Amino acid sequence: MKVKKAVIPAAGFGTRFLPATKVVPKELLPIVDKPTIQYIMEEVASAGIEEVILITGREKGSIEDHFDTSTELENHLRKKKREDLLKIVQEISGMVTLVSVRQKEPLGLGHAILCARKIVGKDPFAVLLGDDLIDAKIPCIGQMMEVYQNMEGALLAIQKVPRQETHLYGIIKGKKVMDRVYSVEEMVEKPEKGKAPSNLAIIGRYILPPRIFDILERVKPDKRGEIQLTDGLRALNREVPIYGYEFIGDRYDAGDKLGYLQANLSFGLKHPEIGSKLKKYLMTLFPYP
Ligand code: G1P
């Protein structure tokens, strides 16, 4: 079944980036010259998904503004004959149809997704987490939609991570059933150090059946009072198969200070305007081979 809708949770406080995120939502922090959430939106659009449901919280109105038309700015650029910038600005507002829903309390990722229930309706849908930026020739969610065509149930993006980092992720235990595809047998959200069932981590891209909503409604909050998507997935796995897909691409954790800087450097080095100058600059920092 074709995936036509994507849910992007963007309601978090961005505490890891304070004070930068006191007023500016973390989703609008730029990687070079584009807000992180625009990379996610471009991924969705280039995979052919037509509608995005943005889950927002307080003080997040500027995210919607970013994807809206800005008549004043457009008139200004027209007057200044900056057709190049005008095109960039106009493309953003035409990218996808955006619907936003408020998550009224910060009750976790599972709860954020539940907020999209009415708008998603009865078809399988995609979920993309804004902290995970994936640089890939074929957009990660597009790769997953291709794989999902021949399956039912749910599909999660996965990636091997170093053993000492497994406590930062949802971790699966699975059996390889095809090239890059694992059948998921077990899932644990952020296992204690040394207790992970493997080093296959869930990365923030999912294709989920609408049945997950009924399940998330019944999931009990964890110790921190949050409803975890991974707990919902574990219950879903008792009813339908869940698969993990090892995507092709480079992933950056833009929700982490180091990952954010790495993404900036990596995208900066590829940027047509500053790439070669940035490379020269970096070489001056490490002059000796
Ligand atoms: C979320 C999920 C986790 C997943 C991670 C990927 O955690 O709960 O299962 O591995 O995203 O980035 P978060 O990093 O939002 O705490």
Q: Spell out the domains of the chain, with CATH numbers in brackets.
A: 5-285 (3.90.550.10)
Question: Is the pLDDT reported for residue 14 higher than 90?
Answer: no
- Shortest-distance atom of ligand 1 to CA 169: 10
Helix or strand (DSSP H, E) at 234: helix 229-236
Q: What is the mean pLDDT of the chain?
A: 94
pLDDT category of residue 273 using cuts at 50, 70 and 90: very high
Percent of the chain, pLDDT > 90?
81
Q: Could you give phi then psi for residue 286, rounded to 5 degrees?
A: -125, 70
Average pLDDT over residues 122-139: 96
DSSP bridge partners of 192: none
Q: Which residues contact 112 (CB under 8 A, 6 or more apart)?
A: 9, 11, 55, 103
Percent of the chain, pLDDT > 70?
100
Instruction: Tell me which amino acid residue 100 is.
Output: S
Model's pTM, two decimal places? 0.94
pLDDT for the residue numbered 89: 84
Question: Is the pLDDT reported for residue 70 higher than 90?
Answer: no
Among the ranges given (77-91, 148-162, 205-219, 228-242), the one the predictor scored with the smallest mean pLDDT: 77-91
Q: How far is the CA of 69 from the centre of ligand 1 (A)?
A: 32
Nearest Cα residue to 120 out of 134, 99, 96, 103:
99
Q: What is the C-alpha separation between 183 and 177, in angstroms, rounded?
A: 6
Q: What is the C-alpha separation between 184 and 168, in angstroms, rounded?
A: 19
pLDDT for the residue numbered 246: 98
pLDDT for the residue numbered 289: 67
pLDDT for the residue numbered 168: 94
Q: How far is the CA of 211 from the centre of ligand 1 (A)?
A: 21
274-289 pLDDT per residue, tens: 999 999 999 999 877 6
Q: How far is the CA of 78 from the centre of ligand 1 (A)?
A: 42
- Shortest-distance atom of ligand 1 to CA 109: 8
Nearest Cα residue to 12 out of 112, 83, 156, 152:
112
Q: Indicate the burial class of 56 (C-beta count within 10 angstroms; 0-12, 13-18, 19 or more).
A: buried
Question: Is the pLDDT reported for residue 125 higher than 70?
Answer: yes
Q: Which residues contact 167 (CB under 8 A, 6 or more apart)?
A: 190, 191, 192, 193, 196
Let me know: does 87 contact 93? Beta carbons within 8 Å.
Answer: no
Q: What is the C-alpha separation between 76 and 93, in angstroms, rounded?
A: 17
C-alpha of 148 from chain center: 18
- Shortest-distance atom of ligand 1 to CA 228: 8
Let me know: does 120 contact 210? Beta carbons within 8 Å.
Answer: yes
Instruction: Tell me which amino acid residue 10 is.
Output: A
The DSSP bridge pattern shows strands 51-56 and 97-102 to be: parallel
DSSP bridge partners of 155: 207, 243
258-268 pLDDT per residue, tens: 999 999 999 99
- Does 156 sit in the ligand 1 pocket, CB within 6 Å? no
Helix or strand (DSSP H, E) at 265: helix 257-270
Average pLDDT over residues 74-82: 91
DSSP bridge partners of 8: 54
Q: How far is the CA of 45 from the centre of ligand 1 (A)?
A: 23
Residue 32's CB is within 10 A of a number of other CB atoms, namely 17
Q: What is the C-alpha separation between 272 and 268, in angstroms, rounded?
A: 9
- Does 109 sit in the ligand 1 pocket, CB within 6 Å? yes
Give the N- to C-terminal CA distance of the chain in Å, as an integer. Answer: 53
Question: Is the pLDDT reported for residue 187 higher than 80?
Answer: yes
